[in-house]
Amino acid sequence: MLIPALDLIRGEVVRLYQGDFNQQTTYHADPIAVATAYRDAGAKFLHLVDLDGARDIEKRQLPLLQAITEATGLPIQTGGGIRTRDDVVGLLDAGVKRAVIGSKAVKDPETVLAWLDEFGPEAIVLALDIFIDDNGQRWLATEGWQEKSSVTLDDLLNQYIERGLRHVLCTDISRDGTLQGSNVALYADLKSAYPSIVWQASGGVASLDDLVQLAAVNCDSVILGKALLTGKFTLEEALACWQNA
């Protein structure tokens, strides 16, 4: 599945370079129009990131998230600063299908495992941002990539898989927002090592050939952000490529 992504700040569609709020580009002032255009182009799922909520839970854009959900009628997954059970409940009550949990899943796994038990594996996506060292070790980053944890991707996954984890969005942060191509080898390895997980590849997709390569290694889904916003290809072209790969 191809999943268009919208990053939201103050009600606008933006992109950050390498997660840096000081390197922000604004693309559209009407995210509902963009989301419905993606739906009309054939999207079956959307990924929304509430960057205001990620920085300050008091500024969570819940009304906008609900408006996009209602306007498109599509299943939506949403992340950005989810720290409490009430945050998860608020999103699900707003019509969001899956809550995307990032830093909390790394820093407080017992709490997030409890949410997985309570809400079920179809309501939770772990968003795991990694950087890969010179020895090939995959370390998890937190707090919008500002902090490097002492936890590896593999160690964390093993905890969650035992409790029924189903969905993981994995970003190689060296690629995100760069349009330098996806880390295909990473997703090939992850799909082979953890076949029970539905993997969402994120970061670096810049061409239709990137999609062909990801499909070839049986990656389940791909998040499409900057490539669509900058016109590297259209969603219709991407969907046709994915279906024929």
Active site residues: 7, 129
Is there a contact between 76 and 61 (Cβ–Cβ < 8 Å)?
no
Distance of alpha carbon 47 from alpha carbon 243, whole angstroms? 20
Is there a contact between 245 and 211 (Cβ–Cβ < 8 Å)?
yes
What distance, in Å, lies between the first and last C-alpha atoms of the chain? Answer: 12
Q: What angle do CA 121, 46, 207 make, to 5 degrees?
A: 115
Paired with 100 in beta bridges are 79, 125
